[in-house]
């Protein structure tokens, strides 16, 4: 992944009676100074400390290997003992790089709307800033959250060009628009705060016969949304009246400031009428024929586990070096009550980091959270 994860934790259990300290869990954290290079491979040795006793010699070798890259001014390790832990801070200093340019590449009808939206927080990286991987990471998250709020999946490809020799940084974000999705309501400051926010929304008590994507499209109560008892009642009634499920109900708990909702749904066998595959981004011009080895087939009874196996099959088949592949499921009811299952493939290029003229490809992490 492109971003430097600035927090790695490393805890240690102290033995009583004056015995030597012994590590119980490993978390080290990087304390950055100025513009650290966003190359995760530089910091792999820190991850290797996880779950092991603190090894001073190993930590020193780790620090030396990081500094040997030549991208840092200096670095050191500081230890902070507590009654139950010993924390190791890798304090790394790099030269500050001034951002000389930031470009956003996206289809023109959406570009101005996106830029106005993501700039509301003041957290977006901009020309004149000192480059920081954390702010770069936040910019990518905000772009993703904007498109989720308008019901679009996207792939974001970044190019980060850092030159420590002259102290400059340039960034570009290329957004590949993919298939539609159920919109996710943004949190403040992008939308007004809910009087009763849904803090927890669980879909774990839904059985294997239920196409969750279809349930989401049939209802208006979703994660990160505002709680409304009448909407919940209407959603429950719609699921029950659809005749697609043996039983469907919402369980509501929590306070008005912390609504907790879980869904209990037991499905009826639904026959799969058709299985389709469609492509977006790098796959938009690719015709997809029938996949003989695809686990889900026309005539099958729908099972979510089989759909998941099909997603994994397609992702593994079409992934290739330098390309990110995301596969999602879209379900529709045909007029005869059978299910049309479409697997949607979104392909886009991996992120690129260029440091002092040397090019690295780095797979970005999947953004799972919400602003």
CATH number, domain containing residue 167: 3.10.20.310
pLDDT band at 364 (very low <50, low <70, confident <90, very high): low
Report pLDDT for 142.
Answer: 95
106, 161: one domain:
yes
Report pLDDT for 47.
Answer: 80
Last residue of a domain, one of 38, 60, 93: 93
pLDDT band at 23 (very low <50, low <70, confident <90, very high): very low
Last residue of a domain, one of 78, 93, 108: 93
120, 151: one domain:
yes
CB-CB contact of 88 with 62 (8 Å): no
CB-CB contact of 182 with 200 (8 Å): no
Residues 38-67 have a mean pLDDT of 86
pLDDT band at 369 (very low <50, low <70, confident <90, very high): very low
pLDDT band at 25 (very low <50, low <70, confident <90, very high): low
Residue 5 lies in a domain: no
pLDDT digits (tens, 9 = 90+) for 26-47: 567 788 888 999 998 898 888 8
Report pLDDT for 96.
Answer: 96
277, 227: one domain:
no
Report pLDDT for 21.
Answer: 43
Residue whose token pair is 């440091």: 355
pLDDT band at 84 (very low <50, low <70, confident <90, very high): low
Q: What are phi and psi of 294, to 5 degrees?
A: -65, 130
103, 170: one domain:
yes
Residue 193 lies in a domain: no
DSSP notation for 64-116: HHHHTTS--SEEEEEEEE-SS-EEEEEEEE----EEEEEEEE--HHHHHHHHH
pLDDT digits (tens, 9 = 90+) for 166-176: 999 999 999 99
Nearest to 169 by CA among 34, 346, 323, 47: 34
Q: What are phi and psi of 343, to 5 degrees?
A: -100, 120
Q: How many independent structural domains does the chain possess?
A: 4
Q: Does 365 have pLDDT greater than 80?
A: no
pTM for the model stands at 0.85
298, 337: one domain:
yes
238, 251: one domain:
yes
Residues 129-133 have a mean pLDDT of 95
Residue 110 lies in a domain: yes
Q: Which range (48-62, 136-150, 280-294) has the least confidence?
A: 48-62
The tokens of 347 are what? 């392909």
pLDDT digits (tens, 9 = 90+) for 247-265: 999 999 999 888 999 999 9
103, 178: one domain:
yes
321, 339: one domain:
yes
The tokens of 155 are what? 């792939």
Report pLDDT for 215.
Answer: 97
Q: Which range (66-70, 113-117, 358-362) has the least confidence?
A: 358-362
The tokens of 298 are what? 């026309």
pLDDT band at 109 (very low <50, low <70, confident <90, very high): confident
Residues 182-201 have a mean pLDDT of 91
Last residue of a domain, one of 93, 111, 135: 93
Residue 356 lies in a domain: yes
Residues 6 or more apart in contact with residue 191 via CB below 8 angstroms: 185
173, 105: one domain:
yes
Residue 21 lies in a domain: no
CA distances (Å), 125 to each of 119, 129, 130, 184, in order?
Answer: 9, 7, 9, 24
341, 358: one domain:
no
Residue 177 lies in a domain: yes
Please state, as a whole number, how many other Cβ atoms lie within 10 Å of the Cβ of residue 325: 19
CA distances (Å), 348 to each of 178, 221, 291, 327, 367, in order?
Answer: 10, 31, 22, 12, 15
Residue 7 lies in a domain: no
The tokens of 68 are what? 């040997």
Residue whose token pair is 């709020």: 149
Domain around 302: 272-349
Name beta bridge partners: 333: 339
The tokens of 361 are what? 């490809």
115, 131: one domain:
yes
Q: Does 49 have pLDDT greater than 60?
A: yes
Residue 23 lies in a domain: no
pLDDT digits (tens, 9 = 90+) for 174-183: 999 999 999 9
Burial of 370 (0-12, 13-18, 19+ CB in 10 A): middle
Q: Does 48 have pLDDT greater than 90?
A: no
Average pLDDT of the chain is 88
Q: Which range (12-16, 152-156, 317-321) has the least confidence?
A: 12-16
Report pLDDT for 132.
Answer: 94
pLDDT digits (tens, 9 = 90+) for 194-243: 999 999 999 999 999 999 999 999 999 999 999 999 999 999 999 999 99
Report pLDDT for 281.
Answer: 96
286, 339: one domain:
yes
pLDDT digits (tens, 9 = 90+) for 345-363: 999 999 999 999 999 988 6
pLDDT band at 104 (very low <50, low <70, confident <90, very high): very high
Q: Does 121 have pLDDT greater than 50?
A: yes
């Amino acid at each position: 992944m492109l971003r430097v994860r600035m927090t790695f934790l490393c805890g240690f259990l102290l033995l009583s009676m004056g015995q030597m300290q012994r590590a119980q869990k490993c978390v080290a954290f990087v304390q950055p100074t100025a513009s650290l290079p966003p190359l995760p491979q530089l910091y792999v040795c820190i991850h290797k400390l996880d779950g092991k006793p603190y090894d001073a010699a190993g930590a020193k070798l780790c620090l030396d290997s990081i500094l040997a890259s030549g991208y840092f001014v200096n670095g050191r390790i500081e230890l902070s003992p507590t009654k139950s832990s010993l924390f190791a801070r890798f304090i790394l200093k790099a030269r500050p790089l001034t951002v000389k340019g930031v470009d956003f590449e996206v289809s023109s009808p959406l570009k101005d709307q996106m830029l106005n939206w993501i700039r509301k927080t003041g957290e977006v990286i901009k020309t004149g800033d000192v480059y920081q991987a954390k702010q770069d990471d936040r910019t990518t998250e905000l772009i993703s959250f904007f498109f989720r709020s308008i019901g679009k999946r996207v792939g974001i490809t970044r190019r980060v060009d850092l030159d420590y020799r002259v102290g400059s940084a340039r960034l570009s974000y290329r957004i590949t628009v993919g298939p539609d999705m159920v919109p996710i309501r943004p949190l403040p400051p992008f939308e007004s705060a809910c009087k009763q926010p849904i803090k927890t929304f669980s879909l774990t008590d839904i059985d294997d016969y239920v196409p969750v994507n279809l349930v989401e499209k049939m209802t208006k109560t979703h994660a990160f949304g505002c709680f409304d008892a009448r909407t919940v009642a209407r959603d429950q009634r719609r699921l029950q009246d659809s005749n697609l499920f043996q039983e469907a109900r919402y369980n509501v708990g929590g306070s008005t400031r912390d609504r907790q909702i879980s869904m209990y749904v037991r499905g009826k066998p639904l026959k799969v009428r058709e299985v389709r595959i469609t492509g977006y981004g790098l796959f938009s011009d690719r015709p997809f024929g029938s996949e003989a080895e695809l686990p889900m087939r026309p005539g099958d009874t729908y099972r979510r586990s089989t759909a998941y196996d099909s997603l994994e099959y397609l992702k593994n088949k079409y992934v290739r070096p330098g390309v990110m592949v995301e596969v999602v499921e879209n379900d529709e009811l045909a007029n005869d009550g059978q299910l049309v299952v479409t697997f949607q493939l979104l392909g886009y290029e991996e992120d690129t980091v260029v440091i002092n003229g040397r090019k690295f490809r780095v797979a970005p992490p999947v953004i799972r959270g919400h602003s």
